[in-house]
Structure 1
Amino acid sequence: MPSPGPIVKSEIPWLWERARREPDKLALLCGNEALSFAQLAERAELAGARLAGLGVRPGDRVALLMDSSVRTVELIHAAQRIGAALVPLNTRLAPPEIEALIRAARPRVVIHDPVYRGWLKDAASVTACLVESESGFESLKPAALEKLAPIRPDAVHTIIFTSGTTGTPKGAMLTNANHFASASAARENVGAEPFDRWLDFLPLYHVGGLSIILRSVIDGATVILHRGFDPHRANLAIRTHAVTLFSVVATMLARMLDDNGDEPYPPSLRCVLVGGGPVAPALVERAIRLGVPVAPTYGLTETASQVATARPEEVRLRGASCGRPLPGVSIRIENPDAAGRGEVLVSAPSVMAGYFRDEDATRAAIRQGWLHTGDIGHFDEEGCLHIDDRRSDLIVTGGENVYPAEVEAVLLAHPMVAEAGVYGLSDPLWGHRVEAAVVLRNAGSVGEAELRQWCSERLARFKVPKMIRFVGSLPRTASGKVRRGMLRREASGFKP
């Protein structure tokens, strides 16, 4: 029997290779269900046979409109087993948006949770088959599958539609080789231990949540899967299940720390990846005080997750950055300004094959082997990457550049501020003016004048928001990024 440990080369689908190596090891714990790798492979084999019975063939697309569940995990692995491309759909979108993505992807089948049945009433006109994920899927007649065969590295494993902070979502085509390279590079940075347990509460239609499912079978880790995010439940799972790793966006981490109080986190927790955009230094410092081994990371859908990640020990010594590029990843800054800030370009084996049926967008994004991310960043003297902002969110006011994330970090450092979003609005005098939307921890605990004074003591005058609105929540993408374009549109009609 092959030895346990990370898979460094595999010809057959990864779950089946892991089941050969460690059939009895716990693979997945979700609610009251616990499956070994052998049991999960058996379930995924049946799911693949049922897909084949529907006529799904290699290269066909299988769309999932499903929340995180054992069935979702089965289907993720089943798609690779039969050579189909998975199209996970964002369940937070509105029905017309879902229909638009289905129309763009043209899947052979859409498998959906019962709760989303009503969302798909118009989707039947653009896809061959709609199947409910529970009793409907279980009633399908399975077809005989061919013997396990080598997977093609260049075959498309997943088409993930970008979260779309600007413009129309595009379908990033991620191959088997892309996902495998991403998992391998991440392992070189944070390591892989035989006792590792990944807590996964990120949605599986997001590359952050999906990558944990794939990485776990490649590295041999157990996944503790939650259907959604609840800070108290997440904190409880960390202690109950000896969780060693989890991935999170900054707002989720802040809510977990609020729920946790002053109790230190257990030493079994060895790494917490924090992504989804720049991480405020105040949040990093707060987490470290509670013993959370935070590791800010930078990644994209188009790179199958991380391309740069700090190590927890580096964060404790040097503060927040995204760390150095992962092994095998090259990152450079194009056209840097006097401060060294410019567009972040990435070259790596994990860079997508392109955007699905969108050659123009692919040519614009990948040029001469470099992915143009649209993000603004810089390297510090230690060679660590810092992400300053999205290029499209840069505010130019009176000829000066203002990076919203920098202003947000100052606002978030105020003890009464829970969330902050900064954006620019057109101004006849300055070109654009800086404004902000803020969620307070306690309503009425601080006023606009006090927050503007707080900012003026810590920022150049031109960076201080001219107006601060108090709101109940901020609009965010599935990956947790603030939708600044939506804030701009809301503010355009706001009357103080």
Structure 2
Amino acid sequence: MIPNWLLQRAYLTPDRVALSFEQQQWTFQELHDEAMRIARKLYANGLREGTRVALLGPSNAHMMFMIHGCLLGSIEIVMINSRLSEKEIAYQLLDSEAEAIIVEDSLAEKLQTIDRKKLLFSFIASSEEIDFTPINTWKAEQTITIMYTSGTTGFPKGVRQTVGNHTSNALSSVLNLGLSENDVWLCTTPLFHISGFSIIVRSLLYGMGIRLYEKFDAIEAAEEIQKGSVTRMSVVANSLDRILREMEKSEMFAHPNFQTMLAGGGPLPIDYLRRAEKRGIAVLQTYGMTETSSQTATLSADDALRKIGSAGKPLFFNQIKIRDAEKPMQHGEVMIAGPHVTPGYVGRFADRNPLEDGWLPTGDIGYMDHEGYLYIVDRRSDLIISGGENIYPAEIENVLVSHPSVLEAGVCGQEDEKWGSVPIAFLVCKEPIEKEEIEKFCLERLAKFKVPKSFYMVDELPRNASNKLMRRELKHFRKRPL
């Protein structure tokens, strides 16, 4: 049995700051009181223990209160990506069989043709309250959140995440990162995403404050890091680069209070890590997915410089192996096992066992070095096979973004009569660049068969709600050849 997170935290450290947003802040007791008020209103609207509801809203304080209200009421939450189209939202509501959708007023226009009970934030705020007693303890196997995968192939899958999954992940993380009474996590990732939600769980289990931003802002993030008001942050490659550019432009350095930056969402360019080091930022690469309630492996601070490019070793309760690898350094699909791994899916994939002999196939290509450190090479679905050679887009992208004129880069495969497939590159540049220059730059750093056969200029790269590059969308983007 696991204690109801917010009940236990408000009991243990009621006066510690739990959340700050814009110019306001709330202690854990105040957060509890706000969440209880909402839980009683949800109860009055027929949303009780075990009910499954969808939640659609921005990453602000009101959304945080709504999440905690659902958690206090032991209501299963289908976390809806606010960037989805109405058709995509309709699919997830139908597939998850959510009884209702709670939606922030400004986003209600996304639901105009959806036939499902809708509860606006404003309607809930004006509802009556009915007293109820929250459950003090939860069962570890109780599903508490459902998040849909991005659906790179076929239909998105609704991933069940249990109390035990989230708890195990948070405990594994703190055993790796350590904990201070003064820790404050800067949260600029969407709360509907596993990266954002896992920060909520850590806050409750650690008694740690959250500094919440509705949207990522590189200037604001750089200033928070410089003044020492936050101690940790989660980023992806693109957001890290933007923060570093702001800090470099203004000659800013991280405050001694700032401890670590967790970087997920794919391999980081080595250049980013070196630039971060110069700004006094320790970047720890981490590896995880929706099916693992966030982190599976994370590089420790002690190994940050010695193992640049690695996602570290599996966290304490977790296991990782490489499919069919017989020795270190062999590439293959990354397989995961542990108490943080989902027990399954909902809807059309409810009958599909996510595990193979107790191991979760990730679809990612990686390898383990001689010391057992994990390195992620790329997504299996993004692999380019050219003339029998395996080409990993991330390797080429890392080279391209190290060019001083290139801000961002995306690489995908294009059909080719002779080679089957060849790499092509899409560049967001801060200044004009000639094709011959970038080709020469690549030839000096890559095998010839890995050098993109075509280069295109784009205004932006296609990214999902968590800022991950969607390579499958690259060829459909408006582009200009170099």
Instruction: Indicate whether the TM-score tops 0.5.
Output: yes
Counterpart residue type for residue 471 of structure 2: R
Q: Decide which of 423, 428, 431 is 1:434's aligned counterpart.
A: 423
Cα shift at 1:51: 1.2
- Pick one of 305, 321, 332 that aligns with 2:310: 321
Say if 1:189 and 1:326, in contact at 8 Å, map to a contact too. Answer: yes
Instruction: Give me the whole-angstrom Cα distance separating, in 1, the residues matched to 2:289 and 2:134.
Output: 35
From 238, 241, 263, the equivalent of 1:254 is 241
1:92 paired residue among 68, 83, 87: 83
Structure 2 unaligned residues grouped into runs of 5+: none
The reply on whether 1:310 has 2:268 as its aligned counterpart is no
Matched, 1:132 2:120: yes
Report what 1:344 is aligned to. Answer: 334
Q: TM-score, normalised by structure 1?
A: 0.93
Is the 1:62–1:110 Cα contact (8 Å) retained in structure 2?
yes
Aligned letter for 2:113? D
Matches within 5 A, 1:147-166: 147-166=134-153
Q: Does the CA contact (< 8 Å) of 1:164 and 1:477 recur in 2? A: no
Shift of 1:452: 1.3
- In structure 2, which of residues 314, 339, 347 is the aligned counterpart of residue 357 of structure 1? 347
Paired residue secondary structure (2:3)? coil
SS in 1 for 2:352: helix
Deviations 1:409-446 (A, max 9, x none): 1111111111111110111110101111111122x1x1
Alignment of 1:4-83 (within 5 A): 11-83=2-74
SS in 2 for 1:246: strand
What residue number does 1:182 align with?
A: 169
Identity of matched residues, %: 36
- Report the Cα offset of residue 489 of structure 1: 4.0
**Cα deviation per residue 1:324-366 (whole Å; 9 max; x = unaligned)?**
1100110000024995000000001000121112447732x31
- Tell me whether 49-58 or 403-412 shows the greater mean CA deviation: 49-58
Deviation at 1:117, TM superposition (A): 1.5
- Paired with 1:402 and 1:144, the residues of 2 have a C-alpha distance of 60
Tell me which residue corresponds to 1:277. Answer: 266
Cα contact 1:166–1:485 (8 A) shared by 2: no
TM-aligned CA deviation for residue 313 of structure 1: 3.0
Structure 2 vs 1, CA of residues 147 and 321 (structure 1 numbering), >3 Å: closer, same or farther?
closer
Question: Which amino acid in the other structure matches residue 297 of structure 2?
Answer: A
Paired residues in the alignment total 479
Q: Counterparts of 1:303 and 1:391 in 2: how far apart (Å)?
A: 18
Answer yes or no: is the 8 Å Cα contact 2:18–2:208 preserved in 1.
yes
Please say if residues 391 and 450 of structure 2, whose CA atoms lie closer than 8 Å, have aligned partners that are also in contact.
yes
Helix, strand or coil at the partner of 1:317: coil
SS in 1 for 2:241: helix
Q: 1:225 to 1:289 in 2, by over 3 A?
A: same
Which of residues 446, 449, 452 in structure 2 aligns to 1:459?
A: 446
Alignment partners' CA distance in 2, 1:361 and 1:146:
34
Do residues 196 (structure 1) and 187 (structure 2) align?
Answer: no
**TM-score if structure 2 supplies the norm length?**
0.96
TM-fit CA distance, 1:490: 4.3
SS of 1:203 mapped into structure 2: coil
Structure 1 consecutive aligned stretches of length 4 or more whose deviation exceeds 6 Å: 493-496
Matches of 1:454 and 1:304 in 2, distance apart? 39
The CA distance in 1 between the partners of 2:188 and 2:434, in whole Å, is 35
C-alpha distance in structure 1 between counterparts of 2:23 and 2:104, whole Å: 19
Structure 1 spans left out of the alignment, 5+ residues: 1-9
Deviations 1:276-325 (A, max 9, x none): 11111111111111111100100101000000001233122332210111
Tell me the distance in 2 between the aligned counterparts of 1:64 and 1:265. 36
1:382 aligns with 2:371: yes
Query: Could you tell me which residue of structure 2 aligns to residue 5 of structure 1?
Result: none
Question: Comparing 479-488 with 466-475, which one deviates more in the overlay?
Answer: 479-488
Asked if the contact 1:198–1:245 (Cα under 8 Å) also holds between the matched residues in 2, the reply is yes
Tell me the secondary structure at the aligned position of residue 362 of structure 1: coil
Question: Corresponding residue for 1:3?
Answer: none
* Equivalent-residue separation in structure 2 for 1:167 and 1:337 (angstroms): 32
